[in-house]
Amino acid sequence: MNLFNIIDEIQNVDPEFQERISPRRDAIKNMTGFGTKLAAAALPFAFSALFKKAYGQTTSSVNDVLNFALTLEYLEAYFYNQGLAQGALIPSADKGYFTTVAGHENAHVAFLKSVLGSNAVSSPTFDLTAKGAFADVLTNYNTYLAVAETFEDTGVRAYKGQAGNLLGNQIVLTAALQIHSVEARHASAIRYLRASKGATIKPWITGSATVYNDTGISAVNASYFGENNISQGGVDITSLNAVSGKTTYAAAVEAFDEPLDKASVLAIVSPFIVS
Amino acid sequence: MKTLGQESPLQQGMARRQFLRYAGTGAAMAAGVLTIASCSKDHSATVTNDHVDLGSGDIAILNYAYALEQLEAAFYIQVAASPYANQSTYEKSLFTDIRDHEVAHREFFKAALGTAAIEGLTPNFSTINFSDRTSVLAAAKAFEDLGVSAYNGAGYMIQKVDYLALAGKIVSVEARHAALIRNLISPGSFADSTAVDANGLDGAKSPKDVVPIANTFLSGKKILAPALGIY
């Protein structure tokens, strides 16, 4: 393991890396003196320390985020692969939507696994009925669409909830944000499809003072808790000027998606995980 | 926070070279104004005679987002005020929603930035035919995809975790817009290969790439941000 080659490589993708690890290049000089005193076996730890200094994150905390994301992507990929494999589930007119979404989820799995390498967790075994809560998920298209919608909306919230753990990390945060917005595109498209089947649903999550779950499916309430928040960074969005009058409650809810913490997301997906 | 004086000698040299190249091609008067703006160590936004400076640090990123939201809001206000021919009730309601979201984003940044906020920009949408659905949807798609890429590409530059969280809350709504507009243009194109790469990753553009595009939609004062390397 050549630590200095690694620094060079990071420097290639993150030109400010050396600036991050120290206000001045002295850090590298310091590392040289430091490194000669270390046994080769200890180098990974030194590397880890360097990462922590650069981004305020340990490699293990970044891996935790990535493995959490990978687990969600495994579930989504399995869900769409299974859906497409059922001959009679998805109407042919809508197949293109699901082929696109499935392609991305499989790509996310492959991408995250390649980034994590040997640190990647393996796929759990899934039960798409969530212990019977969605018993006809693979035979009733409406149920399938409803579960797809909640998976995508939850995925958006899950990535959003992890962004802070990747603060300032050009490589990993940027990739996570790039996945996050793809999940949001999926969510919008699935909602658009549901609307085309007659469901009262918008491409964006709406709500009111009393309604946080706009899907009409109470079984997925946990995926939408808090989505009707209207206070952003200390600003009450309904106090802001709109084109006429003040911003409506619904617009204030729609204009900002809300994050969800890891524990809440895991509680939502746990019924789908057998082992 | 970093000011020009704290840049490495290499970066400083680069900045100065780019600056001189810019100044050399610009009018002599403009160069004088720019020198003042470039040397400013103040973190707040600076208004020059013919440019709006986004400032530096997190303020610059927030002003950058504010500038883009100003453009989007102005665009959708016009779309809603002068609907294209044969607009369906469904599309009208979608455009009204999007307009209200973008206005809320714009007003939010204005409120959050307070005195550090840049001034109101003057949009120029002369290349868009607002009476034609195809023209409006194409412009909307371009704005939304650009907005998503802009937030994705600037996220890592944000230093304060609360600001990153806010950017995250907004970018997914922009992505929802982008997908919807794309589906209105061509059903199923919400995240096709022109938007999402083979790894399943959406676009990420640096402010250096986004600002020149945004500037083509501004009449009068253009955006610059020396702190972000945009001259």
Q: What is the mean pLDDT of residues B47-66?
A: 90
Handedness of CA B140, B102, A156, B169 (dihedral sign): positive
Final residue before a domain boundary, out of A33, A55, A77: A55
Which pLDDT score is estimated for A45? Answer: 45
Do residues A274 and A126 lie in contact, with contact meaning Cβ atoms separated by under 8 Å?
yes
Burial label for B86, CB within 10 Å (0-12, 13-18, 19+), is exposed
Q: Which domain holds residue B202?
A: 57-220
pLDDT digits (tens, 9 = 90+) for B116-133: 999 999 999 999 999 999
Weakest mean pLDDT among A67-81, A216-230, B33-47, B94-108: B33-47
- B78: domain CATH number? 1.20.1260.10
With a cut of 70, say whether residue B29 has pLDDT above it: no
Which of B11, B99, B110, B201 to probe the A interface (max A CBs under 10 A)? B201
The answer as to whether A244 is a domain residue is no
Give me the residues of chain A with pLDDT under 70, please: 1-56
On whether both A96 and A145 belong to a single domain, the answer is yes
Residues A144 and A109 in one domain: yes
pLDDT recorded at residue B112: 97
Q: Which pLDDT score is estimated for B220?
A: 85
Task: Give the pLDDT of residue B40.
Answer: 41
- Kindly state whether residues A49 and A131 are assigned to the same domain: no
* One domain, residues A131 and A156: yes
Domain stop point among A24, A39, A55: A55
A246 touches chain B (CB under 8 A): no
- Chain B residues whose CB is inside 8 A of the A96 CB are 187-188
Q: Which pLDDT band, with edges at 50, 70 and 90, does B32 fall under?
A: very low
Question: Do A78 and A30 reside in the same domain of the chain?
Answer: no
* Number of structural domains found in chain A: 2
The pLDDT, as a whole number, for residue A59 is 79
For residues B148 and B213, give the distance between their C-alpha atoms in angstroms, rounded to a whole number: 14
CB of A156 within 8 A of CB of A184? yes
pLDDT at A33: 37
Domains contained in chain B, number = 1
For chain B, percent of residues with pLDDT exceeding 90: 77
User: If we measure between CA atoms, which residue out of A172, A118, A163, A157 comes closest to residue A269?
Assistant: A157
A12 lies in some domain: yes
What is the domain range of residue A48? 3-55
| Interface confidence (ipTM) of the complex | 0.83
Instruction: Round the average pLDDT of chain B to a whole number and report it.
Output: 85
Is A113 found in the same domain as A136? yes
Q: How confident is the model at residue B25 (pLDDT cuts 50, 70, 90)?
A: very low
Which residues in B lie closer than 8 A to residue A97 (C-beta atoms)? 188, 190
**What pLDDT sits at residue A58?**
79
Determine, yes or no, domain membership for A225. no
Q: Are residues A71 and A19 in the same domain?
A: no
B40 occurs within a structural domain: no
